Amino acid sequence: MNSIGLVLSGGGVRGMAHIGLIKAMQEHGLEAKVVSGSSIGALVGAFYANDTPVETMLQFFKETPLFQYSFFAFGKPGFINTDRYAPILKKHFENDSFATLKKPLYVVATDMQNGLEKVFSEGQLIKPLLASAALSPVFSPVLIDDILYADGGIMNNFPKEYVDAESDFVIGSNVSIAGKLEQKDLSNSIQLATRITGLMVYASSHDKLQQCDLQIEPTELENIGVLDKKGIEKAYTIGYDYSMKVLDEKIAQG
């Protein structure tokens, strides 16, 4: 594995499994040279690209509030004002620049005005990270150069294409799981719409995951809510255990 590329999907709190994968990679002496991510995958990818310790990553997500009255959005779309998270990220990325990261990073967001996918890889770092993770309609879009950007998962939840040219071995981690539902779980329009969106995102992410040289997709994650902070430690453990098993098997196969 001369040059490893790491792709991290969106998936909310389930993205803590990405951190479990990173821990397992470290214990196997593996380090990615280039990273791409969407939504929570972009945030975890940025911490990894900045050589942030796994323990610090987990602590950040545990301590950062999701629903707090002072963060509520007033006068803008969304329930939570995404911009309120900028000072929190600034503590970890003081220079607020892609250039100061230790590894190349590709962050995907969605241009809400023109309906286009946008990848950020240079210049200002924090706003693209916030935009990529601005899960609609919960979090407000982020204004960058007079364009409103939101969740990267809308257009591209598994941005593998951005690491292909710079790596000869790609590790992909998909935490957007769409498991089986019972009929009672599809009893109203909201549940139906949520299911349709989830299946579309899963289908796209899963298909591209199959193109990776090493595939991480723990189905146990489907029992963890996308915005359930109580699931942080569980998602991390699931990701770590699953990744250790897959990596051990890969090494045993030679």
Catalytic residues: 39, 151
**Position 247, amino acid:** L
Judged by phi (left if over 0) then psi (alpha if -120 to 50, else beta), residue 96 lies in left
User: In the structure encoding, which two tokens stand for residue 245, read together?
Assistant: 């098993």
Q: Which residues contact 163 (CB under 8 A, 6 or more apart)?
A: 5, 6, 7, 34, 35, 36, 106, 170
CB 213 within 8 A of CB 170: yes
Q: Which residues contact 72 (CB under 8 A, 6 or more apart)?
A: 79, 80, 81
Of 127, 131, 179, nearest to 153 by C-alpha is 131
φ, ψ for residue 147, nearest 5 deg: -125, 135
d(CA 103, CA 73): 34
What length is written for the chain? 254
**Residue with structure tokens 């809400």?**
112
Exposed e or buried b for every residue in 144-171, given b needs 16+ CB within 10 A? beebbbbbbbbbbbbbbebbeeebebbb
